[in-house]
């Protein structure tokens, strides 16, 4: 049997896979089982921040593997402590809780908000406002937070205590704050799975004010937007706000599973021993990978991310077959005249990997993709969009 056949027989059929088996790569080039090469503009859904088989990252990870691969949270471990320190120093947050995925990082944020509600107003104040068209994860509770009914189907009852406001509609949000017993507001600043839709800056600023006035935790889901993806280390920096909680995952580990929930001043005292935990959380190998990733997201890299972003917007805005281009940094959605699935398939045939978000073609290239490779890939994509 081929790997594709074994996969079809033995893997639970929750994924509609492309007909490509990836076996290796270098940087932004990956290759399949037949040796066909692709320029990768998807990075395993914004995970391989520095592409594939990056030497510095590999070195950091294998050096830690040679020392100790896992400690549990019963003991101190250096990469985990240093990673928390780095995250706090670079964001202004105060403390970090580590887990293994975006969904878990978000579960932690939800716990924090509920604890905050209990503490400030009483147990009945447990409702969290999220946005319609959001995506916060696949556990039952993060699905409940997700403001898209299609994800709830088959799995009801959802966890109680989530209401969904219309993005960029401060009146709707204000009405929900008034009519529900709330403890927090939880947002993506660029809705990723929802179609790469950045929120209006004025709306986000108003939400921050609303949260302050009503003593609600302002929590930002940076699982996808974080770690340099949008052209700043975290997207909140570009929205002129200071969140109470920031969650991240995807690109943080550079390819290893790690989630982080960062607690600001108003959240840092909410947890006490026993209130949350994770066997693998803060794993030293994943933490070493994340430390390596963060050490390389400096001003120079971020300005190159913004430059590459501007190049892509310039190349695609108003191009033949393109209805609209949205996004921030190297997180870009293209609304095409052709069916997005067909554009993606044709790009694959021509050696370019792009992915989908809703009805859009989504680009999430490596932060360090060489300009020449980016240009080659965008030219091919442009030709396919124009067909």
Ligand X SMILES: *Cc1c(COP(=O)(O)O)cnc(C)c1O
Among the listed residues 103, 210, 256, 352, the single contact to ligand X using CB under 6 A: 103
Q: How many angstroms separate the CA atoms of 10 and 6, rounded?
A: 6
Which of these segments, 30-38, 49-57, 100-108, 353-361, binds ligand X (CB under 6 A)? Answer: 100-108
H or E, element range at 103:
helix 102-120
Pair of tokens at residue 203: 């709306």
The residue length of the chain stands at 387
| 328 is a site residue for ligand X (CB under 6 A) | no
Among the listed residues 27, 42, 51, 102, the single contact to ligand X using CB under 6 A: 102
Among the listed residues 41, 223, 328, 369, the single contact to ligand X using CB under 6 A: 223
Q: Nearer to ligand X by C-beta: 137 or 329? A: 137
CB 246 within 8 A of CB 236: yes
DSSP letters for 274-313: TS---SSTT-HHHHHHHHHHHHH--HHHHHHHHHHHHHHH
Q: Nearer to ligand X by C-beta: 193 or 244? A: 193
Q: How far is the CB of 135 from ligand X (least distance, A)?
A: 5
Q: How far is the CB of 312 from ligand X (least distance, A)?
A: 20
Give the number of other Cβ atoms within 10 Å of residue 44's Cβ.
Answer: 17
Which of these segments, 31-39, 132-140, 238-246, 280-288, binds ligand X (CB under 6 A)? Answer: 132-140
| 143 is a site residue for ligand X (CB under 6 A) | no
Q: Which string of x and - marks every residue 168-197 that binds ligand X (by CB under 6 A)?
A: --------------------x---xx----
Pair of tokens at residue 327: 């996004």
Among the listed residues 43, 127, 141, 224, the single contact to ligand X using CB under 6 A: 224
Q: How far is the CB of 110 from ligand X (least distance, A)?
A: 12
CB 380 within 8 A of CB 317: no
| 221 is a site residue for ligand X (CB under 6 A) | yes
| 101 is a site residue for ligand X (CB under 6 A) | yes
Q: How many angstroms separate the CA atoms of 277 and 98, rounded?
A: 9
Residue 379, CA distances (Å) to 20, 38, 50, 375 in order: 22, 14, 22, 6
| 287 is a site residue for ligand X (CB under 6 A) | no
Which of these segments, 21-29, 134-142, 341-349, 351-359, binds ligand X (CB under 6 A)? Answer: 134-142
Q: Which residues bind ligand X (CB under 6 A)?
A: 101-103, 106, 135-137, 188, 192-193, 221, 223-224, 249-250
């Amino acid at each position: 049997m081929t790997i594709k056949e074994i996969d079809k027989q033995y893997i639970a059929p929750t994924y509609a896979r492309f007909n490509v088996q990836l076996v290796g790569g270098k940087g932004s080039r990956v290759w399949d089982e037949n040796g066909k090469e692709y320029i990768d503009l998807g990075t395993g859904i914004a995970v391989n921040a520095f592409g594939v088989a990056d030497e510095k990252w590999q070195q950091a990870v294998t050096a830690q593997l040679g020392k100790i691969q896992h400690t549990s949270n019963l003991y101190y471990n250096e990469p985990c402590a240093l990673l928390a320190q780095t995250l706090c120093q670079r964001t202004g947050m105060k403390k970090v809780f580590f887990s293994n995925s975006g969904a878990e990082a978000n579960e932690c944020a939800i716990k924090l908000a509920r604890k905050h509600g209990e503490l400030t107003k009483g147990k009945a104040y447990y409702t969290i406002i999220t946005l319609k068209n959001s995506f916060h994860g696949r556990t039952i509770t993060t699905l409940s937070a997700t403001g898209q009914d299609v994800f709830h189907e088959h799995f009801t009852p959802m966890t109680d205590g989530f209401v969904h406001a219309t993005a960029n509609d401060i009146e709707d949000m204000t009405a929900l704050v008034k009519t529900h017993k709330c403890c927090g507001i939880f947002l993506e600043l660029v809705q990723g799975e929802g179609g790469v839709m950045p929120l209006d800056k004025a709306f986000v600023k108003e939400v921050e004010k609303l949260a302050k006035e009503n003593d609600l935790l302002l929590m930002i889901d940076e699982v996808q937007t974080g770690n340099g993806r949008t052209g700043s280390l975290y997207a909140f920096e570009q929205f002129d706000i200071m969140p109470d909680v920031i969650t991240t995952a995807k690109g943080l580990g550079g390819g290893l599973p790690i989630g982080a929930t960062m607690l600001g001043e108003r959240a840092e005292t909410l947890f006490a021993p026993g209130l949350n935990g994770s066997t693998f959380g803060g794993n030293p190998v994943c933490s070493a990978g994340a430390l390596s990733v963060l050490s390389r997201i400096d001003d120079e890299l971020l300005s190159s991310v913004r430059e590459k972003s501007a190049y892509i917007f310039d190349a695609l805005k108003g191009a033949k077959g393109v209805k609209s281009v949205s996004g921030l940094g190297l997180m870009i959605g293209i609304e095409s005249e052709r069916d997005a699935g067909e554009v993606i398939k044709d790009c694959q045939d021509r050696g370019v990997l792009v992915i989908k978000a809703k009805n859009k073609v989504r680009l999430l290239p490596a932060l360090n993709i060489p300009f020449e490779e980016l240009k080659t890939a965008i030219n091919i994509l442009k030709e396919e969009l124009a067909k």
